[in-house]
Structure 1
Amino acid sequence: MSNTLPQSISAVKKYDLRYTTQMTKTAFFSTKPFEMDAILRANQSQHEFIFIADPLNETTAKQAANCKAVCCFVTDVLNEPVLTKLKTLGIQMIALRSAGYDHLDVAAAKRLGFIVARVPEYSPEAVAEFAVTLLLALTRKLPQALQKVARHDFTLTNLLGVNLFQKTIGIVGVGHIGTAFAKIMLGFSCRVLACDPKPSEKCRELPIQFVSLDKLLAESDVISLHCPCTPETTNIINTLNISKMKTGVILINTGRGTLIDTIAFIHGLETKKIGAAGLDVYAREKGLFFEDHSNEKLSDTEFLKLQTFPNVIITNHIAFFSAEAVDNIAKTTVKNLAEMKSNI
């Protein structure tokens, strides 16, 4: 089983889609249309699925009635009240269709007796390649170039970029994704520094330097975050650590938004301590990302402030979103369901 965490599926609301067999009945919350085909292909009539468009919370948990499993995305709430509600409904298994599990109260899940599984390695290359995409867009000022061409301004004013060749790249967290990112950076002939108390074995084989966080912060031209969000790493990018960085450092975050103290980060941008940033995640993205707010006025002043910086690229948590990754998530989810079922 993949790090003791599985996946499941359910359909109501917009989709009215049911796929019935004689096996585990699973409610998929926060289901998007792009996922359904991949999940059904992977399932091959093994399980009964109910796809639910709503995110999981205390109010929507009742939609999992008569199911044995729920499958959740990073936007779903899996705190103790929700887990208790699921337990009263007879849910036995929780399948996370994500690598991260910071949205799950692990202690409560264990205490309530749930079997839990996740997808620890669906496509490290998808996220790593996207981190490089953000980095190259920043170093070569791609957004500004596109805006100028759209205005039919073909001058080179304000478009001077920098090479990555022989720059020092600091990677915080070298699990599967961080290791994939390190390999790509080595291909650019970069000097790569890594900080991780438990680096992957594959990463140990690479020609990179393992250093303390302080040394990484002080020497890196680029810092890319690939660590999970834990009590130790929450707000790891804070006022103190920003002060230790090189002036003009480029920061990339495709990990978790809560790795960054947003107020301190904004101050770093305003003082030009942080020269540029590529963010695919945001500390308060729940309820914001994965939804269409184009006809609404956003009230998150910190997010709106971040959007005013021309040297900041924000994307909507899409680093994972490749065809290969979606297929792998679906396959691992179905496999996890089968393995969890066998353990009941």
Structure 2
Amino acid sequence: MEIVAFGVQADERPLLESAFAGHHQVRSLDVLLNRDTAPIARGYEIVSTNVDADLSADVLQTLAAGGTKMVAQRSTGFNNVDLEAAADLGMSIGRVSHYSPYAVAEFAWALALAVDRRIVRAAGRTRNFDFRLDGLMGRDLHGRTAGVLGTGRIGEAFTRIAHGFGMNLLGWDIAENPRCIELGMRYVAQERLFAEADLITLHVPLVAGTRHLVDAAALAAMKDDAILINSSRGGLIDTAALVDTLKSGRLTGVGLDVYEEEAGLFHVDRSLDVVDDDTLARLMTFGNVLVTSHQAYFTEDAVGQIIDATVANVEDYLTGRINENMLVTRGQLPVAAR
């Protein structure tokens, strides 16, 4: 069987095609799946997509009309998928429930250290042989407080690194992680975490209850010199409110690997285009803000695990097996999702 895969990055392609070798052929495309590109999938029973895919009802209808019965998403998040529509169309939708938590946790720390120690600014200067230290002063993180919102696999990995730095640990989640408690984490209300943490990092999924978790009120509660890191989902932060906060001179640094309107922007080259997103354009003007293109997961280890899980999802679909990654199985939603 030939599978068409959308949104395949150049570094990802050999791993993807090698994993399916001997089982199925893969047609790897660098274009993203959306309303315009969905007709490309006509005739393919199985389509694989990345996190940037538009799997809204009309796109799913186009896929189904073209013969697609299974979508294997190469990502954990599925807020881009209309599951009800997929069920109505009798489709199967798979995802990757988990992969290396260290990839994202370590990248979140890379962002935190980069903005704290002004590394991007320093690197730009030294490349031009400007070796001044003006404006490059950072702070020790040892002895300061890390606030971790979401203490699952990734949040726990971040917490372990924070513990290694000798930081005080505050956490918030719907369920406490005993391994984080063993490291000295104290679970507190969101309001207290926002008010007391010097470094705040987000590791919760994007669902209705977490959209704009960091809103104007949360930002107002933070310390003026706090550092804010988001390597989870862009919609967790009210970006317009964040811009207003930065315009007022507050927050030492912000590291963002995600952006709430990133669809159609991230993972493609827009350097020759006029980007009409005024909010993102303004955000990028702040010297204490570092934006990367949703790459926290992008390590050989994590991508390899994502691809292996995708192969397993395809094989399970073809043999009629159901695994933990299936969000919709031949038109049936899991009981918890109904």
What is the TM-score with the length of structure 2 in the denominator?
A: 0.90
State the alpha-carbon separation in 2 of the partners of residues 205 and 114 from structure 1. Answer: 43
Identity rate of aligned residues, in percent?
36
Pick one of 59, 76, 81 that aligns with 2:58. 81
Amino acid at match of 1:175: G
Q: Distance in 1 between matches of 2:25 and 2:128?
A: 52
Q: Does structure 1 residue 228 correspond to structure 2 residue 195?
A: no
Give 2:254's match in structure 1, choosing from 266, 273, 277: 277
Gaps in structure 1 of 5+ consecutive residues: 1-23
Query: Structure 1 residues 86-95 or 274-283, which shifts more?
Result: 86-95
Residue number among 137, 147, 153 corresponding to 1:160 in the alignment: 137
Number of the residue aligned with 2:274: 297
**Maintained 8 Å contact 1:248/1:272:** no
Mapping 1:257-272, distance limit 5 Å: 257-272=234-249
Q: Give the structure 2 partner of residue 9 of structure 1.
A: none
Cα distance in 2 for partners of 1:91, 1:206 equals 47
- The amino acid of 1:156's aligned partner reads L
Corresponding letter in the other structure for 2:119: L
Tell me by how many angstroms 1:150 deviates: 2.4
The answer as to 2:191 corresponding to 1:214 is yes
Please show how residues 36-185 of structure 1 align to structure 2 within 5 Å: 36-185=13-162
Task: Tell me if structure 2 keeps the 8 A contact 1:124–1:176.
Answer: yes
Q: 1:252 aligns with which of 229, 233, 256?
A: 229
Q: What SS class does the counterpart of residue 27 from structure 2 fall into?
A: strand
With structure 1 as the length reference, what TM-score do the two structures score?
A: 0.88
1:321-341 per-position Cα deviation (integer Å, ceiling 9, x unaligned):
112122121111111111122
Is the alpha carbon distance of 1:148 and 1:50 closer, same or farther for their aligned partners in structure 2, counting shifts above 3 Å? closer
Letter in 2 for 1:159: L
In structure 2, C-alpha distance between the alignment counterparts of 1:58 and 1:297, rounded to whole Å: 22
Q: Deviations over 1:183-222 (max 9, x none)?
A: 1111101111111113556545543112211111111111
Q: Could you tell me how far 1:155 is from its partner in structure 2? A: 2.6
CA distance in 1, matches of 2:112, 2:229: 7
Is the Cα–Cα contact under 8 Å of residues 57 and 82 in structure 1 kept in the other structure?
yes
After superposing the two structures, state which structure 1 stretch, 95-104 or 155-164, moved more: 155-164
Structure 2 unaligned regions, length at least 5: 321-329, 331-338
User: Structure 1 residue 259: deviation in Å?
Assistant: 1.1
- Asked if 2 retains the 8 angstrom alpha-carbon contact of 1:229 and 1:258, the reply is yes
Mapped contact 1:245–1:273 kept (Cα < 8 A): no
- Deviating runs (4+, > 6 A) in structure 1? none
The structural deviation recorded for 1:255 is: 0.8
Structure 1 contact 173–199 (Cα < 8 Å) conserved: no
Q: How many residues align?
A: 321
Equivalent residue number for residue 8 of structure 1: none
